[in-house]
A and B are shown apart, each in its own frame.
Chain A
Amino acid sequence: MNNRRPYVRSMDGWWKRDPYFIRYMAREVTAVFVAAYAVLLLVGLVRLGQGKEAYEAWLQALTSPLSMVFHLVVLAVFCYHTWSWFNIMPKTMPIIFVGGKRLQPGTITGTGLAASVIACLAVLFIVRGMS
């Protein structure tokens, strides 16, 4: 019993050890871009509150090439968020029976992704209609 000396291994860089973990980290990192976009909108809102000139300066900044590149990256990240969100969603749901058969994870993910496509199109149409 006195010869026991259990060895505890380091967790440093654990997420680099397997592609599965890297995909998990990629999913979590999307949050940084969601935050960045929200802050950008918040700044726009604050500028709106400060009056026409301030708001139009913010609007003008959105036309810069840097802003375009930023938004293309953010768009790609948001699409990945949508994809990974509905991919993990089946894990968060209890076992459900539909017509005697168990609801499959693929059905849940597919329904979620379809809902997202429809919701995005709806937003596009509403904005089109409002402008």
Chain B
Amino acid sequence: MKRSNEPIFWSLFGAGGMLAALIGPALVFITGIAVPFGLIFKPDTMSYAHMLAFSQSWAGKIFLLAVIALFLWHAAHRIHILLHDFGVHAVTAVRILCYGGAFAGTVIAAYTLLALGS
């Protein structure tokens, strides 16, 4: 039988899922609740100056790319399976949509981070 290519997508799914499981709640809380509404953190935590400096550091670039890309690849794999579970039969179209979307997001994020320079 033909060897499956699932390991590629499953590994990305696993990495993204683990990252989301470990720090996802904290990230959502910080970026979506605490900082915008002035809780716990200083109001300028996510200011343009701060985020520009963060995205220009190599640690910042790696962190931002990891979070955005891995979350997208994790979601792509699971949504692809979800659509299959719901009975959507257009397998190739679903794969292109899901993994293509994650790939596009990864490329956009990488390009933007590189373009921001250091």
Q: Do chains A and B touch in the complex (CB under 8 A)?
A: yes
Q: Which residues of A contact B (CB under 8 A)?
A: 11-12, 15, 25, 28-32, 34-35, 37-39, 41-42, 45-46, 48-49, 52, 55-56, 59, 62-63, 67-68, 70-72, 74-75, 78-79, 81-82, 85-86, 112, 115-116, 119-121, 123-124, 127-128, 130-131
Nearest-neighbor residue (CB-CB) of B116 within chain A = A49
Q: What 1/0 flags go to B67-94 for Cβ under 8 Å of A?
A: 1100110111111011001010000000
Contact A78 B109 (CB under 8 A): no
Nearest-neighbor residue (CB-CB) of B101 within chain A = A35
Let me know if B96 is at the binding interface, CB within 8 A. no
Q: Which residues of B contact A (CB under 8 A)?
A: 16-18, 20-33, 35-37, 40-42, 44-48, 50-52, 54-55, 64, 67-68, 71-72, 74-79, 81-82, 85, 87, 105, 108-109, 112-113, 115-116
Contact A56 B48 (CB under 8 A): yes
B contact residues around A25 at 8 Å (CB): 82, 85
Complexed CA–CA distance, A74 and B82 (Å): 19
A120/B23 contact (C-beta < 8 A), A38-B68, A72-B33 known: yes
Complexed CA–CA distance, A9 and B55 (Å): 55
